Amino acid sequence: MSGDLTPIDVATAARRLAVPPTELVRFCVLAGRVPARWAFDAEALPELAAEAGWVRLLPTPAPAGLDAQLRAAVEALREGDHRDGRFIRADALWRGLSAPDAEALEQAVTRLIAAGLLLRQPGIEPVAVCIPREAEDKLATLAAGEAVLDDLVPQ
């Protein structure tokens, strides 16, 4: 262990990674990376997150409100060049948000997928998304704040 030499437990590591503790344990078991006594080196967490695909796309702190969070999520997809088959796990869009905010943003992303404004990678779990070429202009207006979800996908 490096840094302060104090190992951290599963709950603390999961909180810092913004993933449920069960997902952290599941990944470690499946990847054969079970740490001794389930004690993690805090400085190794970024490497673990990258290996597991636990990316957080929203800025820290995340913007307040669904419209602002959706704008930030779409802009992060655009900036990360997640277009035309360059998929990323959808949960990266709401990772680190409070449970109610994460649920609202997940529902908004689901609406964008249903409307064809985001493309879902077929047969993959967890859900992975990218921006299809034909939706780039519409999503650019959303990212720029010139449109909101209900403008693009009426309920």
pLDDT at 3: 52
Bridge partner residues of 130 (DSSP): 119
Number of domains, the chain: 2
- Span 37-91, pLDDT tens digits: 899 988 888 888 877 777 777 777 778 889 999 999 999 899 888 888 888 888 8
Q: Do both 72 and 101 map to the same domain?
A: yes
Query: Which residues, at least 6 apart from 123, have a Cβ–Cβ distance to it below 8 Å?
Result: none
pLDDT at 1: 42
pLDDT at 91: 86
Q: Domain limits at 80?
A: 66-148
| The pLDDT of residue 112 is above 90 | yes
- The model carries a pTM of 0.71
Tell me if 153 is assigned to some domain.
no
Question: Out of 1-5, 63-67, 131-135, 150-154, which region has the weakest mean confidence (pLDDT)?
Answer: 1-5
Residue type, position 86, single letter: R
Angle ∠(93,97,98) on CA atoms, nearest 5: 145
Three-class secondary structure of residue 115 per DSSP: coil
Q: Do both 47 and 73 map to the same domain?
A: no
The tokens describing 70, both together, are: 């959706």
CB atoms within 10 A of CB 47: 10
Tell me if 123 is assigned to some domain.
yes
Q: Do both 18 and 47 map to the same domain?
A: yes
